[in-house]
Amino acid sequence: MNGNRRSLTPDEIASVDDREIDFSDIPELDATFWREAELVQPDSTQRITLRVKRSVLDHFRAAGRGYQTRINRVLESYVKAQRGSEGQ
């Protein structure tokens, strides 16, 4: 997003008339795009029981909803870093 623009709130987005939307800078999605498009399925998650230090859990929970997703992202980042260092 341009640095001069602010993000719209959900209410502001809902109130915009579709005829006011400028699509001029969005390229057409031609047959080539759709022919080469690839469906990417996200990894599924698995419910587990995991013991972590209270301080770690408190830290993630303090940020509010989605703390389990944030924990998962940290773990994913660690796995990617480990896989990257194995090749060196």
pTM, rounded to two decimals: 0.52
**48 within domain boundaries:** yes
pLDDT in tens, the chain (88 residues): 456 788 889 999 999 999 998 999 998 899 999 999 999 888 889 999 999 999 999 999 999 999 999 999 999 999 999 998 776 5
The conformational region for residue 12 under phi > 0 = left, psi -120 to 50 = alpha, else beta, is alpha
Does residue 59 belong to any structural domain of this protein? Answer: yes
The answer to whether position 21 is within a domain reads yes
* Residue 74 falls inside a structural domain: yes
Is residue 34 domain-resident? yes
Provide the domain limits for residue 63: 10-86
- Residue 65 parent element (H or E): none
Work out how many domains the chain is built from and give that number: 1
